[in-house]
Amino acid sequence: MRAAKETKSRTPSGKSPNKTRRALGLFRLFLALPGPMFLLFTGTQYSRRNRVAGWTGSFIELSAGRTLGIQVWAVSTAPLLLSLLLAQINDTDDANKPKAHPERFWTWPRSLELALYLVSIYGYFALYYVDQLNLYVFALFFGNFWAVVVFYSLTSILRSIKKYQKEKYKSFVRSQAVRVGIITMIMACVATYALTAMLRVPIEATEMDVFVELSLNGIACADQAAFLSAFEASAANASCPAVPHCGYATYEDLCQAVQYAPMVQALGGDVVDVNVFIFAIWFLISLFIFGTGRASADDGYEHLLSRHMLVAMGLTLVTLIMMLYSFVRLLIIVQRLSVPRPAAYFDRTDLMNKYELPLTCYGNCIPIFFYSRYVLYFLIVLAINFDFLKKYAFPVEHAINELRSQGWDDDAPSFYFIPAKWVCACGTKSLPRMQTLRKDGHLEKRSVPLASAFHGDGIIKHILFVSHRWEEPGQPDVDGEQLKAIKAYLEAHPDIEWVWFDYSSMPQGDDRTVMEKAEFQLMLAAIADLYLTAHVLILLDGSYASRFWTLTEAWCSMQTATPEGLRPATKAERRYTISCIHNATAETTEKGLVDLVSKKAPKEMHGILEKPDVNVTNAKDKATMLPKILKINEHVIETFEKQVKINEHVIETFDNVAQDPEDH
């Protein structure tokens, strides 16, 4: 008994769940440290700040300090995501333990971890941008809005990963831990490499743009009087008028800082670009694409090779080229910034543009180059999420795909039928609409295998499809004449068990839900096959032959499906029954309808239906269905051929079982 208890208290790997949980907790605590530790460092640097004396050695005053802040943000984000992945391992280990909220993702430890991350980021950015309070306040509110969007999307992604990986989740997290370790070290190395060069030429963040402007305006160090005159007239000097040379020890130090400013600025942008690209590629490929199953081999990588994914790959290639350019420029700039230059080196006014980095664009093109990359990232995410966005932009199409994934079969479409007994006992003047019948439990959903239906076998022998004209837009049977005719038919044909009447069997009205609209579209696309195979009651009135759908239904009901395609039904094969209502008569209206469509081939029927005197409520229906009329023979032949292949497969399987019964 004691041994059994010990066995139950251990995971399949032999470790105690509590020990595993504690180990994961300590590791997650370690992953959460970079942000708070850097905030502590930033706070100590802020305490050294003294604006009256100019630059006083406080790291947060430098452009390099802001760059490092962005790097810590980027580098600490990957461990945060890894920590959230690790947190869900507890859910796997405790799968048999009842939970109060098993569907919750943001439990209080994870929420606290996220809050610590956000507070740390906002905290040290507040200290770095203390001189730009308005910008910080705007970024705070704007950032919170995007944080909600980002973390909502992140929640969906992490849940999708858990759902897709299932029993492979732990091995997936282990592989991501290795990758996060690698990319974190790479990002840290790139940041350290760049910052060592940036710190050799310290430039205050608030002076960077002015220094760059002075440098690119052709100010040379040789003409000290002209240089100082231009500097004193600039915004840079206006921010520190009481400090000689704006805090730099000598004129040469000031002049070199001005001349190096474009290189320092470009280097700051390059290190951010490279590290953001490294993080983005890991996140998009490892988590978003492979982690959630978007690149699953089960469907032959069909999703990965879809058009929107190919567009995303193309944009990623462009981003890769831009990143490689930034990386090469980073290597060049670091080497040149690391080598001290005398002031006389900057005597040329065009030195920076032509000789120092001839392939680098400075000035106005830097923001364009910088922000265009993030526009590309946005477009990549948009393209990858195209199938998700379609859920909102094209909800019906998304719902159709969802129904297909839930079991809708084009070879055995499902329809809602009214039991014939209920129709006969119906006490209302006309049949209620579909939503009412389904709510009251008077509908039965049945699938109709087309293979057996085209042979006239199975459930199709007991189904009646009613072909009728809608007498008013919202009510097909105003006076109840159609229901009377249906009841009369059912009394004469007791073998009919189910009735299909569009108003009562397909979702109706403008209040249909998205899923009901999707059901409607799927059933509408398959309805012609049922008119080709089932018993059809034609409720013929004086306007029946002028309507597109009713003419199509009547023609289908008067045909016979064969392996060679459609042909007019013989008297013995007749499936349709015409019941004249209102002003229609057997001698004129019925005979005219039969003569018009019963002997027509698909091409001839297409010619009749496309005429302008054949009306349709929704013109789109006519445009959609007419091409299908021309291809209906091909569809019928394919259906028969598919059934032959299925039969051959069944026979082959049966023979194999008969030959080797032990193996099966």
Top mean pLDDT of 243-257, 372-386, 555-569 is at: 555-569
- 3-class state of residue 279 by DSSP: helix
Mean pLDDT of the chain: 80
pLDDT, residue 359, reads 59
Within 13 Å, how many C-alpha atoms sit on residue 559's CB side?
28
pLDDT, residue 656, reads 53
pLDDT, residue 118, reads 81
Q: What are phi and psi of 98, to 5 degrees?
A: -65, 140
pLDDT, residue 7, reads 43
- According to DSSP, the β-strands at 498-500 and 535-540 are unpaired
- 3-class state of residue 201 by DSSP: coil
pLDDT tens column, 78-92: 888 888 888 888 654
pLDDT, residue 509, reads 85
Long-range contacts of 379-387 (CB under 8 A, 24+ apart): 379/315, 380/284, 380/312, 380/315, 380/316, 380/319, 381/284, 383/308, 383/309, 383/311, 383/312, 383/315, 384/284, 384/288, 384/289, 384/294, 384/308, 384/309, 384/312, 386/308, 387/303, 387/306, 387/308
pLDDT tens column, 423-458: 999 989 999 999 999 999 999 999 999 888 888 888
Q: What's the average model confidence in pLDDT over 533-562?
A: 94
Q: Regarding predicted confidence, which is higher, 16 or 246?
A: 246
Q: Which residues contact 656 (CB under 8 A, 6 or more apart)?
A: 664
Q: Which of 352, 280, 279 is nearest to 316 (CA)?
A: 280
Q: Regarding predicted confidence, which is higher, 253 or 424?
A: 424
CA-CA distance, 415 to 526, in Å (whole number)? Answer: 10
Q: Is the dihedral of CA 29, 31, 32, 35 positive or negative?
A: positive
pLDDT, residue 388, reads 62
pLDDT tier for residue 488 given thresholds of 50, 70 and 90: very high
Q: Regarding predicted confidence, which is higher, 536 or 209?
A: 536
How many angstroms separate the Cα of 400 from the Cα of each of 180, 299, 390, 404, 496? Answer: 38, 18, 11, 6, 31
Q: Which residues contact 274 (CB under 8 A, 6 or more apart)?
A: 190, 323, 326, 327, 330
Instruction: Assess whether pLDDT exceeds 60 at residue 5.
Output: no
Q: Where are the alpha helices (DSSP H) in 441-581?
A: 450-453, 481-492, 502-505, 514-531, 548-557
R_g of the chain computed on alpha carbons: 37
pLDDT tier for residue 107 given thresholds of 50, 70 and 90: confident
Instruction: Give the pTM.
Output: 0.59
CA-CA distance, 306 to 478, in Å (whole number)? Answer: 48
* Domain regions of the chain by residue span: 2-95+102-393, 408-649
Of 158-162, 352-356, 464-468, where does mean pLDDT reach its minimum? 352-356
pLDDT tens column, 467-478: 999 998 888 999
User: For 341, left (φ over 0), alpha (ψ -120 to 50), or beta?
Assistant: beta
Q: Which two tokens mark 653?
A: 């399987």
Percent of the chain with pLDDT over 70: 78
Starting at the edge strand found earlier in the chain, the sheet holding 463-467 runs: 444-447, 414-419, 498-500, 463-467, 535-540, 576-580
pLDDT tens column, 338-387: 877 766 666 666 665 556 665 566 555 666 776 787 788 888 877 877 76
CA-CA distance, 637 to 628, in Å (whole number)? Answer: 14
Q: Where are the alpha helices (DSSP H) in 199-232?
A: 208-216, 224-232
